Amino acid sequence: MKKFVIMVCMLSFITACGTGEGEESTESVPVTGQGEQHTDSENNDIDKEEKQGDQGGESMEYRDFLYSVDASLEDNALQVSITLKNEAESARKLEFSSGHQFDIIVKDQEGNVIYDYAADRMFTQAFIFEEVGESEALTFNDQWYSESLGDYEVLQVEATLLPFAIDDEEVEKGDISLTVTLTK
């Protein structure tokens, strides 16, 4: 009986050690696929013009946000930057239903999917709340490396932000989406 009680106590202790609560910060150094908040002064290039060739950018307005996507191809690496800038006069709240906060799909000239950001990834199943202050922006970055990237004449980079609500108002999937076309 004594061994049983000791074993139960040890099991409880070991279990408790692995369940500490951590707090994520969006103001840390950007990691591929993680959000980063910054002020407008840190994001002077948000209104990029569309470029020809291996760089491109698009932007659109959505509910007092400026949504922009920039993509560039260099040395068989595709860099994608997704930015949502708050243009309202007050802070805004975005709600995500999981760690899958954005999606990137890359297609070739025939429309075949050659890269899907979410494929073969696992995302946290937890609600994520992001507050974006006045004139601040939320940015997500992704890099995809492939030896075959140089073989494509045209790449279509579709980037979609996936909040389920902004300021408690539902957002339809696909409402915040842009496609950038890169050509050789």
pTM here is 0.72
Task: Walk me through the domains of the chain, giving residue ranges and CATH numbers.
Answer: 32-183 (2.60.40.2360)
| C-alpha–C-alpha distance, residues 26 and 167, integer Å | 18
Q: Parallel, antiparallel, or unpaired: how do β-strands 77-86 and 136-145 relate? A: antiparallel
Handedness of CA 144, 93, 38, 27 (dihedral sign): negative
Containing H/E element for 13? Answer: helix 2-17
| C-alpha–C-alpha distance, residues 96 and 81, integer Å | 19
Contact 86, 132 (CB under 8 A): yes
**Tens digit of each residue's pLDDT, the chain (184 residues):** 667 666 665 655 555 544 443 333 223 233 344 444 444 434 333 333 344 458 899 999 999 999 999 999 998 999 999 999 999 999 999 999 999 999 999 999 999 999 999 999 999 999 999 999 999 999 999 999 999 998 999 999 999 999 999 999 999 999 999 999 999 8
Q: Print the SS3 string covering 146-177.
A: CHHHHHCCEEEEEEEECCCEECCEECCCCCCE
Closest CA to 46 of 31, 59, 32: 59
